[in-house]
Structure 1
Amino acid sequence: MTNNLKVLVCDDSVLIRKKLKSTLEKCKCEGVLEAENGAVAVEMVKEHKPDLVFMDIVMPDKDGIEALTEIRQLDDSVKVVMASSAGTQNHLKKALEQGAFDFIQKPITLESITNIIEKILKDKKEGSLNV
């Protein structure tokens, strides 16, 4: 059974996108979308309206913080989870100030993805009860 979450993975590394996509599929996410930078991610959010975006912070063209800001302006119900390598604490603080839902440290593990998916599904379930 799928969890019905529409997920977008945004990272400039093809390898990281493929690994994350495969991890998300293990978590029963189907039809995972991919973007190679923040500019593409913003366009994909407009077009596909995902529930969840995994966003790398450091990318060419448009970094994760800029993309996060634009995504929040487009649709503040999208949960954006920032992914970062070590040494980007200032970026993470800024991302959380800009409305990021959460962040995960690279290398990304199945456990960290599972925890975030469960948190979002719980939020979604509780949100639908308050209608």
Structure 2
Amino acid sequence: MVAAVLICDDSNLARKQMARSLPADWQDKVSFAGHGQEAMEVLKRQPIDLLFLDLNMPILDGYGVLQAIQAQQIPVKVVVVSGDIQPEARERVLSYGALDFIKKPVSAEKLQEVLQQFTSVHSVQDSQKVLDRAFASNHHSSANFALDPVLRDVFQELTNVAMGQAGDLLARLLKVFVKLP
């Protein structure tokens, strides 16, 4: 069975990486949203089987999306994918109905594990082949990397992951929940 998937993340790089990690035969059934409000519009417009949801986004964050899904009783399986790896963040999303919480960056193996758990499709080899092709095609040099949009997206995603890890360490040290930007 090919599942209809929605990937909601404000990082273009993260959306592309996640899509490339999905089984090859799913590519035609993938939709994208750059923030929570767009995700809610897609969920209202078309049936989605599986939503991969970032937490820290502009306009409507992942927590707000989870609460809206619950309030509107939208039938979708949600897996949170975030750099915000604080224990309280994990507890909150699970209490709001998320099925799992994956830390960024997502490995093909972890994604395959989630797909096997929440769908009936199993294809580690297909996912790895797609990932290998994607990374091979993205390796190029640029004389002026500041203008290269691919590198800009990479740096932005690295920053997001680093902020999530730093937030986790601060939260554990100070025993507080750190709200990330």
- TM-score greater than 0.5 by the shorter chain: yes
Q: Is the 8 A contact 1:65 1:91 kept in 2?
A: no
Number of the residue aligned with 1:65 = 63
Alpha-carbon distance between aligned partners in 2 of 1:81 and 1:109, rounded to the nearest angstrom: 14
Return the alpha-carbon distance in structure 1 between the equivalents of residues 18 and 48 of structure 2.
16
Change (3 A) 1:43 1:93: same
Q: CA deviation at 1:85?
A: 1.1
Which one-letter code corresponds to 2:103 in the other structure?
Q
User: Considering only CA atoms, is the larger Rg found in Structure 1 or Structure 2?
Assistant: 2
Give the match for residue 91 of structure 1: 89
**Secondary structure, aligned partner of 2:119:** helix
What does residue 47 of structure 1 align with? 45
- TM-score normalised to structure 1 length: 0.83
Aligned residues: 119
Residue-by-residue CA offset, 1:79-112 (whole Å, 9 max, x unaligned): 0000111543322211100110111110001111
Segments of structure 2 that go 5 or more residues without pairing to the other structure are: 121-181
Q: List structure 1 runs of 4+ shifted beyond 4 angstroms.
A: none
CA-CA distance at 1:74 after TM superposition: 2.9
Q: Does 1:29 align with 2:2?
A: no
User: What do residues 34-80 of structure 1 show as CA deviations (whole Å, max 9, x unaligned)?
Assistant: 00000100111111211000000111111001011112333453100
TM-score normalised to structure 2 length? 0.61
Alignment match, 2:156: none
Q: Distance in 2 between matches of 1:40 and 1:114?
A: 26
CA distance in 1, matches of 2:35, 2:84: 20
- Structure 1 residues not aligned, in runs of 5+: 123-131
The whole-number CA distance in structure 2 between the counterparts of 1:104 and 1:76 is 22
Tell me what 2:54 maps to: 56
d(CA) in 2 for partners of 1:88 and 1:35?
A: 24
Alpha carbons of structure 1 residues 64 and 46: separation in structure 2 relative to 1, 3 Å: same
Q: 8 Å contact 1:7–1:50 — kept in the other structure?
A: yes
Q: Say if 1:8 and 1:32, in contact at 8 Å, map to a contact too.
A: yes
